Structure 1
Amino acid sequence: MAENIDFQEIVDHLEYGVVTLDENLRVLYFNRWMYKVSGKQSDEVINVPLDKIFPQVSDSRFIDACRDAIELKLPTRLSNSFNPSPLPLYQAQEIGDELYRLQQATVIKPGVGVDGTTVCEIYIQDVTPMVSKESLLKHMALDHEKLAKRHEDERDHLSRIINNTADAIITFERGSNIQMCNQTGMQLFGYSQEELSQLNFENLLQSPKNVSPLHTEKLKSLLDNAIGNAVTSRHSIATYAYKKDGAELPIQIRFSKTSMGDQILIVAIVRDISEQTGRDKILKESEARFRNLAKIAPVGIFQTDELGVLLYTNQTWNIITGQPRNVINETPWFQHISDENRNEIEEKWQIESANNEQFVVEYSFDNNASLKWVLCQLMEELDEYGKVLGYVGSITDITDQRKTREKIEHLAFYDPLTSLANRRLFKDRLSRSISALKRGNKRMALLNLDLDEFKRVNDSLGHDAGDQLLTVIAERLTNSVRENDTVARLGGDEFSIILNDIESSSDAGIVAKKIIDAVIQPIVLGQQSVTMTVSIGITIAPNDGCEPEKLVKNADIAMYSVKEMNKNSFNFFNTSMNKKTMDRLSLENDIRCAVENKEFHVVFQPQLDIDSGKIIGAEALARWDHKQRGVVSPCEFIPVAESSNLILPLGELMLFDACKEAGRLIKQLGNPEGFTLAVNLSTKQLMDHKLVATIKKAIEVSGIKASQLELEITESALMQNIGEAVKILNCLKGFGVKIAIDDFGTGYSSLSYLKTLPVDRLKIDQSFIFDLMNNQRDKDLVTAIVVMAHSLKMKVVAEGIETYEQWQFLKTLHCDIGQGYYISRPTDIDEIVKSCDGQFWNSAVKDHPKRNSRLKQVKS
């Protein structure tokens, strides 16, 4: 029966290209599929060279492969995924008339013509679905190669073609056994031709149990259509078949019919889709994975078409934007953006996407009356030809981050307590105001303000009350000026105000008076009502200069002049202003530079055991030799350093130097037992939160023991905040540092604090020692202090001893330690070592005439 099969008809119904070339590469045969997809007629191809039909192939690998098939009998397989075929083969899409180029897999192999000559057989398969499963089906296309068949015995030749096709070709009569199966089909199912002739085609397609009856019914319907239709059916079905060994085989079948005489045959073209099914499964799993990830993603994910219209949004996107699900296929992705931002962002997106750039932008919008900020990232989706299919993007809710960023930016330029401009912003505003003066004829005023007695309120009522007071003052200052003026808090209770565009200095005076009246109004802090006053210094630009630093200095000078008079007032800067104020500012500036340049140095005044004359300590004292001022007295620079907060860096510098030098002195004296270095602490140092850490570090760096350091604190410093002082001193005492009360008897002299403070020594003020031998009251007071201290297990230090008689009297009182010019002036450690006989001071302490003579030399 196979002998009578019309192979020409079978091959013409194949959905593959079949072409035969002679040894000169002229077309012998085109099957029907080739005519269809190439758009050629028979007279345009038969006996015509292939490169004349398709000029694109003249210099391509395609022609070389055809020559190899004829001359070398070498087969070649080409795929335009990797080896692009130049044949321009096209096929119309089912919907519409647009033509799409086919992706081709081409087999070129040698064959034998009817006359025994070598021919070139070419098989072209449309592999568009396999090359780009993810592309839209409407972009499928078929690339055409030309073939021709030149021999008269088409039956044998077409048989070879059928047997070499990539798909199985099976013919049968409905209800009867299989009549013919090509070689591919026998290899696919594992049966021989004889075995297949004993089988019914429907028996080959026994569906697995998991295939539904509807699927089986569709297969039956396709068979019926194939018999009833006069043309090849366009419908196909993917199903399963069983191989001879029982293995399940996924296949795709397309049916057509042909006739041989009165007999109607069904032609089944069966394709093994195992690989494609695997790819489809991977693709579906990937898509499912993406969908699941998109569902739980913490960011909003969306997809649009090429115009930006939404195609997909995940739930997070809808939650962030507040948009309903039904916006898909209706609105562009940027529709939810606030009106004032939408046009700008849309325009920016279109420009950047046109330049193939990834689009990243931050924008805001209203979601249920709540302002939200998001970070949006958008990028193109392209097909294999680079055409834009659409866009995929994400949005991240950065509202909280934005608020944090704005808060950080606010902290960079504004005072966190009062929300006034800080020093950094003040400097910028001042520079801008000065620059504006140069462009017009206006004036500006700078007001520097300092609250009078703020420290008293802060120390007595606590820091919380102090902060509350500053907040109220800041509000009153803001209400006293215009919106275009600047109120700044520079630190503590220091404020500055920039008044822009004033007509005359009197305008600044009016504002200053308004501020004084506002500040003096009572302020309720908890259960207390306080009244504050303010000192204001005013400078006018450009009258007083146009340099920011100079204007600030001028305003400070004017303010200090107010403080030195009656406070609660204001004053304008003028060049003839109180020289004392200007000198003080100059001294303050010199102190600041001296600290930075380490111009200060430390000297020591020895402390002796009065009974034995043994050196048991030294007091460290700061000294300053200025290049222009010469030797500056501590009585001159210490108060200024105290009032300007420069005492903190100065005190730290002296502490480290004193500990370092004391370590060297102790070593040179042979490590005397009980040796103590006395260092003075100011009020501000005592309240400094870094004090404990600074002292620990100084001890560690110098190598002295904690027990060898004694901190001297005045009664007045202690009473500023006795509760906090007790905590700090107990902490210092805890790791071994000694505590002494300096200038005892000149401050509060309240005995109640002595029982709460961890005091080791009382230091009698030198005012009681100076006239000790001539004033009985001084003798009585010194005697009482010594007796009281000893009863409290404290040692007593007498400072300011200048005579032998004073020394001997204190010795009779059993005063423990002596210090003063009678022993030595403050000096360096080398001089102290020279004056010692071992660990004892020289005999002059016991030699009355010689010592008094030396004392006169020292004082002179």
Structure 2
Amino acid sequence: MLGKIDFQQVVDDLDYGVITLDDQLRVLYFNRWMFEVSGKQPDQVLNIPIERVFPQISNSRFVDACRDAIDLRLPTRLSNSFNPSPLPLYQNKCIGDELYRLQQATVIKPSTDNEGSILCEIYVQDVTPIVSKETLLKQMAADHEKLAKQFEEEKDHLSRIINNTADAIITFERGNKIQMCNLTGVKLFGYSQEELNELHFEDLLQPPESSSPHSSEKLRSLLDNAISNGVTSHHAIATYAYRKDGVELPIQIKFSRTSVSDQPLIVAIVRDTSDQASRDKILKESEARFRNLAKIAPVGIFQTDENGVLNYTNQTWNIVTGQPRNTINEDLWFDHVADEDREGVESQWKVETANNEQFVLEYSFVCEDKLKWVLCQLMEELDENGRVLGYVGSITDISEQRKTQAKIEHLAFYDPLTSLANRRLFKDRLARSIAALKRGKKRMALLSLDLDEFKRVNDSLGHDAGDQLLTTIADRLSETVREEDTVARLGGDEFSIILNDIERSSDAAIVAQKVIDAVTKSISLGQQSITMTVSIGITIAPDDGREPAELVKNADMAMYSVKEVNKNSFNFFSASMNKKASDRLSLENDIRGAVLNKEFFVKYQPQLDIDSGNIIGAEALARWNHDVRGMVPPCDFIPVAESSNLILSLGELMLYDACKGANRLINRLGNPKDFTLAVNLSAKQLMDKKLVHTIQKAVQTAGIYPEQLELEITESALMQNIGEAVKVLNSLKGYGVKIAIDDFGTGYSSLSYLRTLPVDRLKIDQSFIFDLMNNQRDKDLVTAIVAMAHSLKMEVIAEGIETFDQWQFLKSLQCDFGQGYYISKPTGVNEIVKACDSYIWSAVAEGRQNIILPEESPKLKQVKR
């Protein structure tokens, strides 16, 4: 076995460069050839990033190819045509002399070391002699032109070759006067042949109207060398030429010298680099000329005769296909394909090549007990008469790309967090399940799941804990169903389960209960342990429908019916739910029209100082009188407006109307400075980006002071996004608006937040006041709330006061303010002013009189409670 030192000696003795980079593109190995042609010492190279070793390649295609090899495992071949000298390497130890700079062909490919670490292998070959041969061929072409004068047939043939080359070929004498220009040059520069014969070569390198010479110093040097010393330029010089019409053309020029009748003649090869198609053609020509580079190509290259029998393969071909080299001239190019696929590959090849189409095919085969995928491309090689000489093709190992594609396809159909089916795959599975119903007599069930209070957990514990919770729930859901069923995560905390081939509805109920049992098991999140609940809606197909959208809607309706009642349970879809949803949609449309038509109006419920009985403000309450429905209770239209986002437009409308009404009321009452208008804000209004601006505009339009407006926000609305809520409340407080927490004691809140929030008042929920005189626990709670609020320097207002005894008890606790039907129902501005004029509030405070209310419907009494 060859030792490590022997292997290094072998590589050092190679007549081409070998470089090894680590995954940070630091140089791990330079062979002797590289040190000689680069002029570098080991301490200038080893363990140093390649871009620091050769600063000239920074941000170049060379560096990009190295990164592709490391990051994407992609091999790259940098041909000499477009990357003639990517590295500053020089021959004859003439380091730094660009005339001696090597032209290179470079192969960059991924590799691994013994420990499996990714490396980048770079092979650099000096192709300067090959380029010199190319120049010699062009010189021979010029010599053939002279011979063409004697042999007319050869002249015509050579003329066609020259005129059909992609490059302009121009010859001129020592004085630089153009002697000949091929047809490509005539078309390129826009001059006739006669006009070109009157020009000097330099005239093509400056605008037609210019009289000053134009050529770069480097171009002039190469031209002079070609004229005086016969030195041929090894690489093209990039510059600009000008058409007859003045259009500037980016070009590349190479010079060579020949002689005609012992007179020196300069040949300029001019390439138009503005046409990508021209560059592609040149690339193919270059690849044909430098076919020997295929020996180190990163793709398999092969050539066959007209029957498809191999007559050339490079080493990569043999590695990819597993075919030995000694079978050349015996095997067909597709013999490595598996027996069952070979006939199809051969047939497609013959059909496409018979139709003069390029053969491109991806196929797989087993090599060394591994499944390989390759991309094969094959095209004809024709002689000048169009007869097929054979075929040339390439074969690329795309096994890793296929694996990557499979991963991408997985991401397209599966949720990246839980690995459950995503919405796209769910829709496909649901459609397939419904289609299967037509072929059998069984049923299927669709379960819609929503975790209860997930947002609260996610906001309080953080998104990482929320993700951990979702993955745990997902694993548990997968364990409750069969392999043929589907569990999908549709987004957030929404899941769906498709149960295929069930006998009866009770089968779905059994699974739903399993889901509930699985979800409600304690879950450990770091140092905390929590218990979740889930609401499940179930619909059965074909009983409840056969359309995917219909079944999803049914399951969702059933799930929401659970959430509205008791949560942590399941419910089957019923026709009544459909009617309820239809009624709700009808109500939503009526609300939308009512907002546009301004059918809503404001009533005001007075708020009194419990100690003095003086009016200190009023709460604005939205009311709606529909032309068909009549008076619609707020408990009917407010939730629908909330869920459909109509609450934003409705809330803005009520805010403007309430502020205008408050202005009239304040003026009628003699402009009391301490009068406050209380307006309710929903959670969605609180998160509205335009809220502060809307309130400022409403206050200014109504002509009231900011201090005369109080915004009531529930605990639940605050806690939905406490961080953003604090920012909004601070902005409103800075404007001068008062803040009150509505329905205090019924929501979920934190006393630590309460201490930091800019709150002026706590409003005790009416549920604590209703049975206050008969329930000691309610008394204790109200007593505690009043004491706590006063200790935090907050005022307290009690809502829902209906008796004088309740009034007296609250007064004994030094509760600041009160409102309720004992004082007055929600009423208009005029009624409030009349009551003030009659000093009725003082009588109410003393228990001598209360506002007599008209008889109410049972529903309104329920709403009042």
| TM-score with structure 2 setting the length | 0.50
